[in-house]
Structure 1
Amino acid sequence: MVSLLKEENIAVGGVSLDNHLILAAGVLGTTGASLKRMLSLGAGGVVTKSIGPYPKGGHKGPCVQVYDGAVMNAMGLPNPSEDFKVELSGLEGRPVIVSIFGGDPDEFSKVASWFSGMASVRGFELNVSCPHAEGYGAQIGSNPELVQECTEAVVKTGIPVWVKLTPNVTDITESGLAAEEGGASAVVAVNTVRAMRISTAMRRPVLGNGSGGLSGPAIFPVAVKCVYDLYEACRIPVVGCGGISDADNVIEMIMAGASAVEIGSGVLDNVGIFSEICGDLYSEEGENIEDLRGCAHA
């Protein structure tokens, strides 16, 4: 298998990382303790749960269904809003990225202002891609003009801004270019794919919200294609996300054009996934990431 040469100083989109593997938003990023735990277990950086302008309780259950090779969820962006700041104490100097959401540029700016002065925050990730939160997420991300405006609003903090994009659009590069035009330091591809399952026994959707977002290995090919297209269209780094479960998946993402990757659903079955992948990914005989990134492009 192809391997990577471990770098002394890894920086992606203005954010310094311990390695190329990052905990994705919404998975074990709900408390300061869980963020610290994932860093101690080998994550090269962590993204918090998405924080919005007002406290939200989320959708009614069931909120998560696990299938063979896939996870479907409709959490509804539950979060404590500004009170989440207390969870970041004790994480100063660590590679922590705060995921934020809002319904318009002013709300994004408001949420960013709460965290912009904290020593524990190295970057923001704009959630303009959640497919199951009315008025937020993908409703913003499917409009390139709004993506640019929301990005511009948060860039004013002076902190690196990553924009997490939705695959549920005709052309993801339009949103990626809008984020780049707005001053984003990187784009993340992708959030979950819109999905639904119906219980034939109960004759109703299996999720309380009806529909939700699909993640896990089932969407890996979708994520690879999105990374590939964004690498060709954008000048800023692309962070791959979606169904990554082993070191070879990471290499594939890098060959498609990714500068780093985020792992979410893979943590559900194995909290040690970061250290395990790192053990397979890096070697003294490994190749420089600069030589591998985007090599699949003609």
Structure 2
Amino acid sequence: MPAIPSRVDLSVRVGPLELRNPVITASGTFGYGEEFAPFADLRRIGAIVVKGLSLQPRDGNPPPRIVETRAGMINAIGLQNVGVAAFAREKMPFLRDLGTPVIVNFFGNTVEEYEACASELDRVEGIAALEVNVSCPNVKAGGIAFGTDPGLLGRVVEGVRRATDLPLIVKLSPNVADVRPLAEAAVAAGADILSLINTIPAMAVDLESRRPALANVTGGLSGPAIKPVALRLAWEVLQAVDAPVIGMGGIWDARDALEFLCLGCRAVQVGTVNFVRPWAAVEIADGIARYLGERGYAGVGEFIGTFRVGP
């Protein structure tokens, strides 16, 4: 695979994070990094976000857990993961040796679980930042997702902020009438960076059996189908808060990534495409460099935020 053209500076600063390029792999689509080592040079990725972690290991949902759609896929994995302790012991040594920033996505079902998880991860050497998944149900509040209520979101972010000094990314849900109050609450509570969007609730039907295609009935839609929604929500958040934004949702190639960057996102995450092209993150970074180089940009920083509305 050809190297990124040296004449274009792809380095970016995203809040406290300094990345070699703005392309990050999205949580849940890149395992714990090592699984993709045979397919891509992991040292050429801006950062790796690992599969979401909980305090204790989780088995996830029964299969079938993934179904392909015409423009992406629906997953109902159920947040299966090895747990924080096993991650630190078994997965982190490989990641630490890469030299690529490691961002750990994590979640809980109570504010206390979020705090405890962040506290445990804060002691793991080599983590560059934490990404908080707030799309999980709050079991103490009747199952309402933390990320759909500004008050709940603020409490969980405040708790996590107390538990760690690591850079804190809050991953916002698209499943709200207006994402801006959630973004404002996250930043006010101590988030350094916002990332969005998470998946959109969806379902699929097996017509031959006339039953759900997923054992869980519903799941999260990702892939190219959601990019227009993701762009709109990223744009709204960029106008609402003075905080760095990482955009994601349906990015399939360099042009998709560049759309988010021109809006003002400081970086992007690529997800579903990793299942189709495991080397996609490197390929997209190369494509960004080629696009910018062909148009005379010295670096990606000159391009970020160049989107304009009106005459």
> Would you call these one fold, judging by a TM-score over 0.5?
yes
What is the CA–CA distance in structure 2 between the aligned matches of 1:272 and 1:124, rounded to whole Å? 24
Q: Which structure's CA Rg is the greater one?
A: 2
Q: What's the counterpart of residue 297 of structure 2?
A: 286
Contact 1:98 1:121 in 2 (8 A): yes
- Which residue is 1:69 aligned to? 71
User: Does the Cα contact within 8 Å between 2:10 and 2:299 map onto a contact in 1?
Assistant: no
Cα distance, 1:297 vs structure 2: 4.0
Residue 44 (str. 1) matches residue 50 (str. 2): no
**Which residue, 157, 162, 170 being the options, matches 1:151?**
157
Query: Once structures 1 and 2 are overlaid, which stretch shifts more, 11-20 or 37-46?
Result: 37-46
Alpha-carbon separation, structure 2, partners of 1:262 and 1:54: 26
Of the three residues 223, 235, 241, the one matched with 1:228 is 235
Residue 100 (structure 1) aligned with residue 106 (structure 2): yes
Q: Aligned residue for 1:19?
A: 21
Matched, 1:33 2:34: yes
Provide runs of 4+ in structure 1 moved above 4 Å. Answer: 35-39, 133-138
Pick the aligned partner of 2:179 from 146, 164, 172: 172
Letter in 2 for 1:281: I
Query: Does the C-alpha gap of structure 1 residues 48 and 188 become closer, same or farther in structure 2, counting only changes over 3 Å?
Result: same
Partner of 2:210 in structure 1? Answer: 203
Q: Is the 8 A contact 1:138 1:166 kept in 2?
A: no
CA distance in 2, matches of 1:286, 1:27: 31
Tell me which amino acid in the other structure corresponds to 2:193.
A
Structure 1 position 279, deviation (Å): 1.9
Question: What letter corresponds to residue 296 of structure 1 in structure 2?
Answer: F
Question: Structure 2 CA distance, aligned partners of 1:24 and 1:10?
Answer: 17
Deviation at 1:94, TM superposition (A): 2.9
| Matches of 1:4 and 1:184, distance apart in 2 | 33
Tell me, yes or no, if structure 1 residue 140 matches structure 2 residue 151: no
Q: Deviations over 1:43-97 (max 9, x none)?
A: 2100011111222111111100112221100011111212221211133343000
The secondary structure found in structure 1 opposite 2:221 is: strand
Task: Compute the TM-score of the two structures, normalised by the length of structure 1.
Answer: 0.91
**Amino acid of the residue matched to residue 128 of structure 1?**
V
Aligned counterparts of 1:217 and 1:224: Cα–Cα separation in 2: 11
1:269 aligns with 2:276: yes
Alpha-carbon distance between aligned partners in 1 of 2:6 and 2:149, rounded to the nearest angstrom: 37
Per the alignment, in what secondary structure is the counterpart of residue 251 of structure 2? coil
User: Equivalents in 2 of 1:148, 1:36: separation in Å?
Assistant: 37
Q: Identical aligned pairs, as a percentage?
A: 32
Per the alignment, residue 128 of structure 2 pairs with 122
Structure 1: any 5+ residue segments left out of the alignment? none
Residue by residue, what CA displacement relative to the aligned partner does 1:93-144 show, whole Å, maximum 9, x if unpaired? 43000001012221111011112122210000001126xx784997111111
Which of 88, 95, 116 does residue 92 from structure 2 map onto? 88
SS of corresponding position for 2:201:
strand
Query: Given the superposition, is the C-alpha separation of residues 32 and 41 from structure 1 closer, same or farther in structure 2, using an over 3 Å criterion?
Result: closer
RMSD: 2.4
How far 1:268 sits from its partner (Å)?
Answer: 0.8
